[in-house]
Amino acid sequence: MAAARSDRPGGPDEPGTLGELARSARQALVREIDAQGAWAADPVWREAFLAVPRHLFVPYYYVAGPGGYERLWGESHDPAVRERWVRGAYADTPLATRMRDGELLSSSSQPSLMATMLVALRVRAGDRVLEVGAGTGYNAALLAHRLGDGLVTSVDLDPEITESARAHLAAAGHRPAVVTGDGMRGVPERAPYDRIVATCELPTVPGAWLAQCRPGALVLTPLATGLLLLRVGDDGRAVGRFLHTPAYFVPLRGAGPPAGGQPGADGRDDEGEWGGLPRRVRENERFRFLAGLTRGLLGPREAYRLWERAERPGRERFGVTAGPDGARAWLDDPAGPDVWPLG
């Protein structure tokens, strides 16, 4: 007699209608990321994305609809909803996983952006990695698949998030260290680290992170709708530039207003907040990055004059120098005339 077929996927290799759909959808996602060239510089990550089942990390998520947010749940009694859930789990889009009073608290990042960030980390066998922002646990699982559970630490302030991340990781067969705590302070008891990656937006680069890094370590963090990649020197200071890639993340809770906070960030586009700048300027994605990076220091018109004088620079012309005494952003040259404090 043939084995009974399940239509609810559990482990990554469980047979059944949705289990098979999850595998084929995962393969399609990997092909889509392949086509974008996201991991051309480090194709080993392709194996991790093929092996780690994203649907185990998003047992439910929210999608926007005409009447507000709809919750898709893998344990729904409606087979059509379960199929939509598993297909959506492997779409190359961010997924809202925690909402409170209409506010997004946590999400699973866009897989192709995760691939870009993991490649930028340039991990090597034996590297110890700290992830700030546990989220669903999916990113930690990808790291653990590549490096091994014992070399990966993930931290989040919310105990509900860390508890669910541990459960998701265990379901996928991984048990890295998942710590409940303030991500701005790092996890000193698990240091030193060779790599630190944040999956939430911060207002600055915490000095505590740098103190927990080995010389030569890389730090990758979202900042002002960009991705900042720093290398830590022998003196404990770090310097680096932004990648050209746009990046939008949920702010780290408890860290204060993110550097990316800017006029219009709450969905409004009040011309007065932008100092009367024309809409074509306000909607220019490159300018909005600079406006966020200089938030609280330059008014929109001052930021615009800087942007025009510098011939409308993109993210990759900006960088940051960070140390125990704080962090400073700069345009083109850390010793040049255009330097300002962060945070």
Q: Give yes or no: 109 in active site.
A: no
Catalytic residue among 106, 107, 108, 154: 106
The 3-class secondary structure across the chain, one letter per residue, is CCCCCCCCCCCCCCCCHHHHHHHHHHHHHHHHHHHHCCCCCCCHHHHHHHHCCHHHHCCEEEEEECCEEEEEECCCCCHHHHHHHHHHHCCCCCEEEEEECCEEEEEECCHHHHHHHHHHHCCCCCCCEEEECCCCCHHHHHHHHHHCHHHEEEEECCHHHHHHHHHHHHHCCCCCEEEECCHHHCCHHHCCEEEEEECCECCCCCHHHHHCEEEEEEEEEEECCEEEEEEECCCCCEEEEECCCCCCCCECCCCCCCCCCCCCCCCCCCHHHHCCCCHHHHCCHHHHHHHHHCCCCCCHHHHHHHHHHCCCCCHHHEEEEEECCEEEEEECCCCCCCEEECC
Which of the residues are catalytic?
106
